[in-house]
Structure 1
Amino acid sequence: MQDVVQGARGEAPVMLSCEGLTKTYREGPQDLTVLHELDLGVRAGERVAVVGSSGSGKTTLLNLLGGLDRPSGGSVKVAGQCLAELGEAALGRFRNRHIGFVYQFHHLLAELTALENAALPLIIRGQKRHEAVARAAGILERVGMAARGDHKPGELSGGERQRVAIARALITDPSLVLMDEPTGNLDQHTAASILALMDELASSAACAFVVVTHDPALAAHQDRVLRLNEGRLQPE
């Protein structure tokens, strides 16, 4: 379990750290523990895949890592900040600054253009619109979407929408990027292009990546693969 805790990037700073992470739900008269005292450390520039069967708790884990849910026990630290110490408003601000999310189904706003979707986290933060849009234009160019910035999601292919979602996740220079089945809704060719993009981004980003997936090809592209089984993480 030591490599699960420590990561594999030498002296790079630890961007994500979990200790004793536990999640229990109440089901009628009984408690159901989904995650059992997980320990995990991921360093800057490192990509970790989490695999496991449906219902094993992968999405629950991702929600805890991103501060979208609170653990029943243990702690989650992102960039050295313990999420449990933050109230809801402060946690929302922290997520906006330090955590990027990429989902299987993109969650882009249909009424906004690709450029506006990518700029949204900065606009929510209160940055001036022209500054946010200029930053978004640069990020879209980085993910190969510069020519499609004025198109709305309905006018984009699945792979293009996913590239916009990745741009939106990266625009704040986050400490941690969480991906939930980012290629699960894409054809094989498009998924391969997203894998290549992730390789390129990871080589230059100073953040940690955690990718939840059922896709063996996507998992194989990460630096480490961990399996979530019966509420516990173990190296593949």
Structure 2
Amino acid sequence: MNKGTEMPSVAMPADDKHSTSPVMLSCRGLTRVYREGPQDVTVLHDLALDVRAGERVAVVGSSGSGKTTLLNLLGGLDRPSAGEVHVAGQSLSELDEAAMGRFRNRHIGFVYQFHHLLAEFTALENAALPLIVRGHKRKPAMARAREILTRVGMAERSEHKPGELSGGERQRVAIARALITDPSVVLMDEPTGNLDQSTAASILALMDELARDSACAFVVVTHDPALAAHQDRILRLDDGRLTPSE
């Protein structure tokens, strides 16, 4: 399809329950092009999306459809070829790398399929790390980490290192780490993809509870139909374009 015949970008609307909540994450004209040899490959085409406070959006699609690329752009880990991403009203394109790092630490939480916890640190230390990186003193950072670990059901395991925890426990610590800064946006990349069915169900229940109590926006990339069904909206990413899932 040539440029003159492309469909205009349309922002995906919020679900009715959150339609009056403030927009925490938005993008317009979001495009990502990669160079492969002599050719340019467009992975994402002119995407538009709004996600409001307290809203949970699932993005589904086949492998290689660009879901992780989208998540990286929304989180400021990668720069778009064109278009804009705004988080909590801030245009990410206006931030240099140092400012982006500080902004991400304050406003964006990440949860990955593989938890990326530091093996030499306890669950408590891993959860506290974003606050320590920000420059908080260790004692209040640890107190906040203990509070958030209690919230995700990990109080009794807080002094254990990742190698002493189950997969579900490690993922709960990763969720605590993502939430400890009271972020504007939480981005999740296959958060239940490495868990057995029972453990994944417990993480789903935890996510439901956290979403009810939080004003942040959640975007979850997943292949898991059960996880997608737990969100307020499901969007499909195909051929680099977002559409509501039927």
Q: Same fold (TM over 0.5)?
A: yes
- Residue among 179, 182, 199 paired with 1:190: 199
The CA deviation string for residues 148-176 of structure 1, in whole angstroms up to 9 with x for no partner, is 00000000000000000000000000000
Amino acid at match of 2:28: E
The 5 Å alignment of 1:171-190 reads 171-190=180-199
> Which amino acid letter does the alignment assign opposite residue 220 of structure 1?
A
- TM-score normalised by length of structure 2: 0.94
Identical counterparts, % of pairs: 80
Give the aligned CA root-mean-square deviation in angstroms.
1.2
SS of residue matched to 1:55: coil
Aligned residues: 236
The reply on whether 1:199 has 2:169 as its aligned counterpart is no
Aligned to 1:81: 90
**Correspondence 1:65-214 to 2 at 5 A:** 65-214=74-223
Among 22, 26, 35, the residue aligned to 1:26 = 35
Match of residue 6, structure 1, among 2, 6, 13? 13
Q: Aligned to 1:233, what secondary structure does the other structure show? A: strand
The CA distance in 2 between the partners of 1:75 and 1:170, in whole Å, is: 25
Please tell me the residue identity of whatever aligns with 2:13: Q
Q: Per-residue displacement from partner, 1:26-75 (whole Å, max 9, x unpaired)? A: 11111100000000000000000000000000000000000000000000
- Contact preservation (8 Å) 1:119, 1:132: yes
1:37 has 2:75 as partner: no
Are the aligned partners of 2:234 and 2:244 in contact in 1 as well (CA < 8 Å)? yes
Alignment partners' CA distance in 2, 1:4 and 1:199: 25
Paired residue type of 1:96: N
1:178-220 Cα offsets, whole Å, 9 max, x none, are 0000000000000000000000000010100000000000000
Q: Deviations over 1:106-149 (max 9, x none)?
A: 00000000000000000000000001000000000000000000
What's the counterpart of residue 228 of structure 2? 219
Structure 1 length normalisation: TM-score? 0.98
Are the equivalent residues in 2 in contact too, given 1:4–1:235 (CA < 8 A)? no
- Does structure 1 conserve the Cα–Cα contact (< 8 Å) formed by 2:10 and 2:48? no
How much does 1:6 deviate?
A: 2.8
The answer (yes or no) to whether the contact 1:52–1:58 under 8 Å persists in 2 is yes
Structure 2 residue runs without a partner (length 5+): 1-7
2:9 and 2:47 in contact (8 A); partners too:
no
- Superposition deviation, residue 4 in structure 1: 4.9
Check whether the contact 2:9–2:29 (CA below 8 A) recurs between aligned residues. no
User: Following TM superposition, where does structure 1 have runs of at least 4 consecutive aligned residues deviating by more than 3 angstroms?
Assistant: 1-4
